[in-house]
């Protein structure tokens, strides 16, 4: 998964210093073009065209015979029948495109839903520890660079959720200056073989559009939904790390909002603009 994320990082790299809407628009254009091409070559284009024409004809039939309940019911049945056919033709291309489109959407989420810290802001660093680590409350130490400052003693939490033991250490940290701040977590002796520390990067570059992952961990499922940087390795004694990055908004023609709404609007615009170019029926 780390290799795949690096490919996405290269795709978004030219837009890292521009307003977020430009990178989001480019990503939407790529996703839309990809989806239309897949839709064209994996769907029954002729069947879709016929189903649409029949649906239109039945709507006209409802309008023409508005005073005849029997004909209206038949027309409505025809609309439903051809509507189901239309949906059926879309199932195959949707099944093919869902995984790559999800990867793109997940990467957009962690580029445009969160922002870097600004100097003066505080955040929580949460470590979820394996309950198998003996004396886990004191087994880990935190080393901070000059740009970060610990503002409260660590909070240690131990609870049982759905039969699973949860061991958590929370650190409240303040950002003092801009930059990429590398903090170090000293691991307990023998927890990860030859490795004795875990390094994490805290991003405090508000002028950059970066991939910010509030959850870092090991495992395919976690890294699919939370594209990480591969910092946490199995055997470290740390199951998951959470960083409470602040949420961001995208400025779309003066409208500051969640990135999904501009993407949906742009997707419709690009779809109808590319339709005659790709020559696809949808």
Please report the pLDDT score of residue 193 as a whole number.
47
In a domain? residue 248 = no
Using an 8 Å Cβ cutoff, are 91 and 42 in contact? no
Cα–chain-centroid distance for residue 157? 29
* Percent with pLDDT over 90 in the chain: 44
Same domain, 238 and 266: no
Same domain, 192 and 223: yes
Measure the CA–CA gap between 81 and 55, rounded to whole angstroms.
Answer: 9
Same domain, 142 and 194: yes
Give CA separation, 243 vs 124, 160, 170, in Å.
Answer: 6, 22, 10
Angle of helix 260-278 versus helix 20-42 axis, rounded to 10: 40
Produce one character per residue of 118-129: b if its CB has 16 or more CB atoms within 10 Å, e if not.
eeeeebebbbbb
Please report the pLDDT score of residue 191 as a whole number.
46
Confidence of residue 264 (pLDDT cuts 50, 70, 90): very high
In a domain? residue 199 = yes
* Total structural domains within the chain: 2
Same domain, 97 and 139: no
Give the tens place of pLDDT for each residue, 25-66: 999 999 999 999 999 999 889 888 898 888 889 888 888 888
Cα–chain-centroid distance for residue 172? 26
**Torsion 37-39-45-51 (CA) sign:** negative
Q: What's 114's DSSP letter?
A: B
Measure the CA–CA gap between 167 and 232, rounded to whole angstroms.
Answer: 17
Same domain, 177 and 234: yes
Measure the CA–CA gap between 13 and 273, rounded to whole angstroms.
Answer: 26
In a domain? residue 264 = yes
End-to-end C-alpha distance for the chain, whole angstroms? 32
Instruction: Report the CATH number that the domain containing residue 205 is assigned in CATH.
Output: 2.60.40
Q: Could you list the residue range(s) of the whole structural domain that residue 257 is in?
A: 2-113+253-278
Reduce the DSSP state of residue 157 to 3 states and report it: strand
Q: What is the largest CA-CA distance in the chain?
A: 84
Same domain, 77 and 141: no
Same domain, 171 and 192: yes
Indicate whether 224 pLDDT > 90: no
Measure the CA–CA gap between 111 and 227, rounded to whole angstroms.
Answer: 11
Produce one character per residue of 46-64: b if its CB has 16 or more CB atoms within 10 Å, e if not.
eebebbbebbeebeebbee
Same domain, 228 and 260: no
Give the tens place of pLDDT for each residue, 92-112: 898 899 988 988 888 899 899
Same domain, 142 and 207: yes
Indicate whether 153 pLDDT > 90: yes
Measure the CA–CA gap between 193 and 185, rounded to whole angstroms.
Answer: 15
Same domain, 58 and 31: yes
Same domain, 15 and 46: yes
Same domain, 144 and 219: yes
């Amino acid at each position: 998964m780390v290799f795949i994320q690096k490919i996405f990082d290269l795709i978004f790299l030219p837009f890292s210093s521009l307003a977020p809407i430009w990178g989001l628009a480019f990503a939407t254009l790529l996703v839309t073009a990809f989806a239309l091409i897949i839709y064209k070559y994996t769907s029954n284009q002729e069947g879709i065209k016929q189903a649409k024409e029949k649906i239109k004809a039945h709507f006209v039939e409802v309008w023409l015979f508005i005073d005849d309940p029997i004909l209206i019911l038949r027309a409505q049945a025809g609309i439903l029948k051809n509507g189901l056919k239309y949906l059926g033709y879309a199932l195959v291309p949707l099944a093919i495109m869902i995984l790559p489109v999800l990867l793109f959407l997940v990467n957009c989420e962690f580029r445009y839903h969160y922002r870097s810290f600004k100097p003066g802001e505080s955040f929580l660093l949460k470590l979820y520890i394996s309950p198998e680590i003996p004396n886990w409350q004191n087994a880990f130490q935190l080393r901070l660079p000059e740009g970060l400052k610990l503002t409260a003693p660590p909070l240690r939490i131990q609870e049982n959720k759905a039969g699973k033991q949860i061991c958590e250490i929370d650190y409240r940290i303040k950002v003092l200056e801009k930059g990429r701040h590398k903090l170090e977590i000293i691991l307990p002796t023998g927890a990860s073989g030859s490795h004795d520390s875990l390094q994490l990067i805290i991003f405090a570059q508000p002028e950059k559009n970066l991939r910010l992952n509030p959850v870092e961990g090991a495992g395919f499922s976690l890294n699919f939904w939370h594209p990480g940087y591969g910092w946490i390795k199995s055997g470290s004694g740390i199951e998951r790390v959470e960083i409470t990055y602040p949420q961001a908004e995208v400025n779309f023609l003066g409208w500051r909002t969640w990135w999904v709404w501009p993407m949906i609007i742009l997707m419709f615009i690009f779809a109808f603009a590319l339709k005659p170019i790709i020559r696809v029926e949808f």
